[in-house]
Amino acid sequence: MSRGQRHREVPIQRRVHLFLRLYAALKANPYSQQAELSITFSYGRGAGQTRVETDKPDRYVFESFMARFQQLIKDGDPVFLPKILNELPRHIDNPELRARLAKARQLWTAAEGVPSPIAPLVLGRFASGHNLARLYLHGGVFHSDPDLSDVWDGLTADDQEFVMHAFRSYEGRVRAIIVELKEVIDEAREGGFLRDEPLDLGA
């Protein structure tokens, strides 16, 4: 993708349309309907006595979900979540809905950060949401980044299990944001608050 394509401006109505199509595809996927995650740690002394176990989704259902989900966290994609969250408030003529989008942006920032003080001890430089997602998706699931794939292959099976669970927790936090975004868009469209041209919010 060229620099010009990466930063090509997309009209807000077109961006919203693409987001809604993606949302429908994600919601229809069986992975989005499953129960909350679970994880179990078993500690023991000596090699092979420490285990990490988490519930596992159907591989092909999960990979189908991830193929679409990664669009939301990929800079340059028309449905890149931060781009929509930053642009949409200027096109919604309703202060309450704009306040909800501001809250959603705060939740995005929190999801992208380091979830706890101990996360770097376990995940190292991949402790933040963005880097964790890159490692898991492009090193562990799709192998689209040779360097990250090498990092993934160097992890123990238990470490890979832990990264998978940490990513799925991250995905759950992002999913809550896109649900809120979908509801705001629906209310804005139904109320006639969604504008093609940006509002002058400084006036």
Parse the chain into domains and list their residue ranges. 3-191
Whole-angstrom Cα distance, residue 12 to residue 18? Answer: 10
Per-residue pLDDT of the chain (203 residues; tens, 9 = 90+): 444 445 568 899 999 999 999 999 999 999 887 755 555 655 454 555 556 566 667 888 888 999 999 999 999 999 999 999 999 999 999 999 999 999 999 999 999 988 777 778 778 889 899 899 999 999 999 988 999 999 999 998 878 888 888 888 899 899 999 999 999 999 999 999 999 999 887 75
Residue 92 three-state SS: strand
The pTM score is: 0.84
Q: Please name the residues in contact with 99: beta carbons below 8 A apart, sequence gap of 6 or more.
A: none
Whole-angstrom Cα distance, residue 194 to residue 197? Answer: 9
- Which of these, 133, 121, 123, 117, lies nearest to 169 by C-alpha position? 133
